Amino acid sequence: MANITILGAGGWGLAIGVLLNNNGHKVTMWSAVEREVNMLLEKRENTVSLPGIIIPDEIGITSDLESAVKDRDVIVMAVASSYVRATAKRLKGLVKEGQIITNVAKGIEEETLMTMTDIIEDEVPGTDVTVLSGPSHAEEVGKGLPTTCVVGAKTEKTAKYLQKIFCSEVFRVYISPDILGIELGGSLKNVIALAAGIADGLGYGDNTKAALITRGITEISRLGEAMGAEDLTLYGLSGIGDLIVTCASVHSRNRRAGMLMGQGKTMEEATKEVNMVVEGIYSAKAALKLAKKYNVSLPIIEVVNMILFDDLSAKDAVGELMLRDTTLEHPELLWTNGDV
């Protein structure tokens, strides 16, 4: 049995807490939001982020960070990506050397272009920072529906340790050394999911969505390769797997926000209606900056940025994508018969 604290009591954090509790581990949930803590203590349920999932009595609930992270085997960072740095900063001096911290947030910091694990290492040096990602909506994990993810770690020893902790009959975990690829896939798919939602909001069909998913993973892998990530990772669970579920699922907040924008709402109106953090909005600008830094073409991500921040209408955005110069699907594949 491992002693585990989860930082962040939103839907994903709670779903992981239920999973780990069911796996026989001692679990503590921490939140900086007092009303969230009070709700969980009173109702044993987060009626906003994960309604219908009752939190077992064995799981501790607290807002005291120092007691929550002291002498833990694993700390899971489950706050929204925009709060990862601030939360990690608070861990300084509270955690031991070599502490395993598993990040499950998905995003890229706009100002620094750091991934979430980079941020945690920057703020809490000397810790063993890892990542868990994949196609895993909290609503389904909380209900115990079969799900598969991947853990990324610097050493095989840590990866196998976490694999054993998280694995169950309904939650299968693979392991990988490619932390960067896992994080890029998890972050950039949210931007493509906004585009998929916009297409849904405009009333487009399965053909459109298939094109967005297929060309979307091409853009993700193009940037990932330029940054040193492995193609195999981006065509795996944390890349195309997560992309498919986020573009298609009714649980996807990024798809839903995009759908509302496709129906004519502004970004602000859409995020207010979703009433949860829409990670793709935070990652979109960072993705575009990375594209410029590494000199790669990301047309879908560029158009999403234009819709979000430059007042391009969703309908006009389709024209931006469809009327671009024609090209080869795979430039590396050439004819060999000599015809021009």
- Cβ(216)–Cβ(302) below 8 Å: no
According to DSSP, residue 170 is labeled: S
3-state secondary structure of 330: coil
Best CA proximity match to 286, nearest among 304, 270, 268, 261: 304
If one counts every other C-beta atom within 10 angstroms of the C-beta of residue 202, the result is 18
If one counts every other C-beta atom within 10 angstroms of the C-beta of residue 175, the result is 16
- The size of the chain, in residues, is 340
Q: How would you classify residue 98: left for phi > 0, otherwise alpha for psi between -120 and 50, otherwise beta?
A: left
- Cβ(137)–Cβ(16) below 8 Å: no
User: How far is C-alpha 274 from the chain's CA centre?
Assistant: 17
Give catalytic status of residue 315 as yes or no. Answer: no
Torsion of CA 134, 176, 168, 158, to 10 degrees: -130
Catalytic residue among 106, 189, 209, 285: 189
d(CA 162, CA 227) in angstroms, rounded, equals 26
Q: CA 132, 237, 55, 78 torsion: positive or negative?
A: positive
Q: How would you classify residue 59: left for phi > 0, otherwise alpha for psi between -120 and 50, otherwise beta?
A: beta
Which tokens in the block code for residue 23?
């796996």
- Cβ(260)–Cβ(212) below 8 Å: no
Which tokens in the block code for residue 18?
């239920």
3-state secondary structure of 113: coil
Return the active site residues: 189
